[in-house]
Structures are given as C-alpha cells and as structure tokens.
Amino acid sequence: MVQQPMRAALASSLLPASLQPNYRAAGTRLDAAIAARMQALGPLRQLRLHGDCHPGNVLWTDAGPHFVDFDDARSGPAVQDLWMLANDERAMQALLEGYQQFRDFDHTELALIPALRAMRQLHYAGWIAARWHDPAFPAAFPFAAEARWWEQHIADLHELTDELE
C-alpha cells in the first residue's frame, strides 16, 4: 500500500522530474513512520474488508444501503472500513456503537487511522498515475497533470508523517 503506489507515481510523466526526489523522500519517510506505527501496535485481528468503504460506494435504494465497488476488497483490521465512513469523531463513535452490536472491536485499532489515511493518499496518487493512459482519467482528474497538485501532495505526505511520528 506504500511501495507500489510510490513506484507508479515515480514512473509516471505526471510527477514533474524536479519533484521526484522530494516525492521519493516524502514517501520513504512516510513508509518508515507507518511501519513504526504498525510495529508498535503489534498483530491485530484481520477480517475481510470492502477496502474502499466510503459514502460514495454506498448505493441507497428503497430496500436500504448496498455496498458497491469491491475491487479493493482485502483482509485487514476492521477500522480500515470504519474510518472511511466516518467524517468526524461523533460519526466514528456512532459507527463503533453499531458495529459492536454485531462484533467486538479492538479500540487499539483506532491508532491506525493516521497510517491508513496516509496509505490512502499514496494509493490515490498512484492509482491516478498508473491509469493515466485511460482517456477517462485526464478528463476526470485534470488536476493531476499540474505540478502544484504534486507539490501539495508531497506537503500532505510530510504532514501525515509528522502526525505519525
């Protein structure tokens, strides 16, 4: 979730050559901080996840909510799907209350949220970079062709690392 998207971004013509050393440094620093956080928490229970569980991937019909877009399904800690649905602390508490009606939740997992958020940012940039050849991508993500977007992305990676350290 770190190395693959970094390689995609670094191999892409979207990332200006002048920013590549900064991107590599930011990504490497972030990778170390994520690894340290994961190691500090130790082994966590793994379960099957949606993997991209945000409100945009919930289709509401008269029958109720339906999850869509399962191409990122994987195994991982429960908090991976929960943090993406919650937009603030209050929403997270409500989700956890509902979740715990069906399954125990290890609150230690909450310390993973900054690392998961960082991996999501890296994944997003790498996902765009890897698929830029698809004609739909330049139309849908025109900002990714601008150096200032990559500059902000690098700054965001440093900020996320600071939060983890």
Which of 31, 62, 69, 156 is catalytic? The answer is 69
Which of 82, 105, 128 corresponds to the end of one domain?
105
* Domain CATH code at residue 70: 1.10.510.10
DSSP string, 20-58: HHHHHHHHHHHHHHHHHHHHHH-----EEE-SS-SGGGE
Mean pLDDT of the chain: 94
Q: Is 52 a catalytic residue?
A: yes
pLDDT (mean) for 134-147: 97
Tell me which H or E stretch contains 18.
Answer: none
**Residue 31's pLDDT is what?**
96
DSSP state at residue 102: T
- Residues 21 and 54 both lie in one domain: no
- Residues 160 and 116 both lie in one domain: yes
79 contacts 86 by C-beta, under 8 angstroms: no
**Residue 72's pLDDT is what?**
84
- Residues 116 and 40 both lie in one domain: yes
- Residues 119 and 164 both lie in one domain: yes
118 contacts 156 by C-beta, under 8 angstroms: no
Q: Is 72 a catalytic residue?
A: no
- Residues 98 and 122 both lie in one domain: no
Which of 52, 71, 72, 156 is catalytic? The answer is 52
pLDDT at 2 over 90: yes
- Residues 50 and 97 both lie in one domain: yes
pLDDT (mean) for 96-125: 95
Which of 78, 105, 132 corresponds to the end of one domain?
105
Structural domain span for residue 100: 45-105
The total domain count for the chain is 2
**Residue 87's pLDDT is what?**
83
Interval 33-87: pLDDT, tens:
999 999 999 999 999 999 889 999 999 999 999 999 988 888 999 999 999 999 8
Which of 105, 124, 145 corresponds to the end of one domain?
105
pTM of the model: 0.88
- Residues 73 and 123 both lie in one domain: no
Q: Give the residues across from 66 on adjacent strands.
A: 59
Separation between Cα atoms, residue 63 and residue 115, nearest integer Å: 35
- Residues 92 and 49 both lie in one domain: yes
* Domain CATH code at residue 15: 1.20.1270.170
